């Protein structure tokens, strides 16, 4: 039985054990439009035609589709690539080492109009700008436009046991 599992022969054998055929008239699908009785499933080559009518003539063009490439391009030998040709070169002296310019915590001034919830921008002494980005909010928006620094210092008020924020 295991050798016949999954085959038509297995269905026929099981049907014979039941005393009936697996291809009884009641078990066939009902075909509502004609019959294939007496016809083969083989179609000879002279009965097939690759140029039958039907469907749309020609291929459809997609919006923005490019026209097919015309002509042939020159053959390229990919086995031996040519080394690039070097243009005239000349040595250039390295820049002199200098003191780095840019952000200085003491002299850079914050640009208040460039504040964001997690960023602060500074104007450096040399005219460049430095923006510091933070992983958590460092400014809050008061009203609809002004960003103000979050004050995280706590003070102990007189006469109480807890701490409160200054603002």
Q: Which of 141, 147, 92, 93 is nearest to 115 (CA)?
A: 147
In this prediction the pTM is 0.36
pLDDT at 114: 92
Q: Is 137 a residue whose pLDDT tops 60?
A: yes
pLDDT tens string 10-32 = 555 555 555 544 455 556 666 56
27 and 8 in contact (C-beta within 8 Å)?
A: no
Identify whether the C-beta of residue 102 lies closer than 8 Å to the C-beta of residue 130. yes
Residue pLDDT, tens place only, 142-153? 888 789 999 888
pLDDT, tens digit, 9 for 90 and up, residues 41-95: 777 777 766 666 666 667 778 888 888 777 777 777 778 777 888 888 888 998 8
User: How far apart are alpha carbons 76 and 82 in whole angstroms?
Assistant: 11
Q: How far apart are CA 133 and CA 124, in angstroms?
A: 16
Cα–Cα distance for residue pair 125/130, rounded to 1 Å: 11
What is the pLDDT at residue 5? Answer: 47
Task: Decide if 4 contacts 10 (C-beta within 8 A).
Answer: yes
């Amino acid at each position: 039985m295991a050798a016949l599992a999954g085959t038509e022969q297995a269905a026929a054998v099981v049907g014979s054990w039941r005393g009936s055929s697996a291809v009884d008239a009641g078990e066939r699908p009902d075909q509502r439009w004609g019959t294939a009785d007496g016809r083969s499933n083989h179609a000879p080559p002279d009965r097939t035609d690759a140029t039958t009518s039907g469907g749309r003539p020609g291929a459809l063009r997609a919006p923005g589709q490019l026209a097919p490439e015309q002509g042939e391009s020159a053959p390229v030998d990919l086995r031996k690539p040519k080394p690039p040709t070097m243009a005239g070169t000349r040595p250039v002296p390295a820049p002199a080492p200098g003191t780095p310019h840019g952000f200085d915590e003491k002299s850079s001034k914050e640009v208040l109009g460039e504040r964001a919830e997690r960023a602060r921008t500074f104007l450096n002494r040399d005219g460049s700008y430095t923006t510091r980005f933070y992983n958590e909010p460092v400014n809050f928006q008061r009203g609809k436009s002004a960003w103000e620094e979050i004050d995280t210092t706590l003070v102990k008020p007189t006469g109480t046991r807890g701490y409160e924020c200054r603002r």
